[in-house]
Amino acid sequence: MSSSEIVLRAREVKKSYRIARRELPILHGCDLELARGERLALMGPSGAGKSTFLHVLGLLDRPTAGQVEIDGEDAWRQSLERRARLRNERLGFVFQFYHLVAELTALENVLLPAMIRWNSLAFDAKKAQFYARASELLERFGLSERMKHRPPQLSGGERQRVALARALFHDPPILIADEPTGNLDRETGEKVLELLFEEQARRQLSLLLVTHDERLAARCERVAHMDAGRIHNGLRG
């Protein structure tokens, strides 16, 4: 596969935290490649640095050293505005604990990225279109009767489906999922996963999936392992 088809690449990513004037190294130089349309599982014990790495890849947390390239663009070298744009347009996130806003309805939660991205005038101009798109996603995810519910009134599986709809609202080419079923019982988790994999295939998404579940990892084309801040098999071929 040519390098131009790599949509997300980490080169020698290092991250350390400064605690009580001491540097605490967490990531020791991590390399990763994710190709267009590929499903990659990232496994590893708790504390290995997986979430830290995802935050760096997702442009949420700056690395101490190294690069993150999104479609070949060195993202951490860009301006704050450019990075925010890359994050909004290229990346979707699903987290273990959903991260929905409790005060907003399911529909409003899905619309939240659009509300943040557009100013209120621009949002109002496209409001009908945005609402139709958000409703359509929620309907497809079996939530047509739950659109006006707030997260506390939803089950865990329903919350995660709302979170998935929110992540896909902007049609990002890359989806980063951090233990998306980690907080769900097995049966509910499997339903959410079926949806996730279905959308991945339908949209030809590049999926980076952090999981503890071997069965889940087995459904991905590649599995990378992280241990004590180092990645094994992060590169293709």
Contact positions toward ligand ADP, by CB under 6 A? 17, 19, 24, 26, 44, 46-52
197 contact partners, CB below 8 Å, separation of at least 6:
39, 219
Q: How far is the CB of 27 from ligand ADP (least distance, A)?
A: 8
Q: How far is the CB of 184 from ligand ADP (least distance, A)?
A: 18
Q: How far is the CB of 213 from ligand ADP (least distance, A)?
A: 14
> Burial, 125: exposed, middle or buried (Cβ in 10 Å; 0-12, 13-18, 19+)?
exposed
Nearer to ligand ADP, 17 or 142 (CB): 17
Nearer to ligand ADP, 6 or 43 (CB): 43
CB-CB contact of 162 with 127 (8 Å): no
CB-CB contact of 178 with 51 (8 Å): yes
Nearer to ligand ADP, 15 or 39 (CB): 15
Q: How far is the CB of 205 from ligand ADP (least distance, A)?
A: 22
Q: How far is the CB of 234 from ligand ADP (least distance, A)?
A: 14
Strand, coil or helix: 80: helix
Nearer to ligand ADP, 14 or 170 (CB): 14
CB-CB contact of 86 with 75 (8 Å): yes
Taking the C-alpha atoms of residue 109 and residue 104, their distance in angstroms, rounded to an integer, is 6
Nearer to ligand ADP, 50 or 222 (CB): 50
The per-residue b/e assignment along 151-187, b for 16 or more CB within 10 angstroms, e otherwise, is beebebbbbbbbbbbbbbbeebbbbbbbbbbebbeee
Q: How far is the CB of 207 from ligand ADP (least distance, A)?
A: 18
Nearer to ligand ADP, 55 or 150 (CB): 55
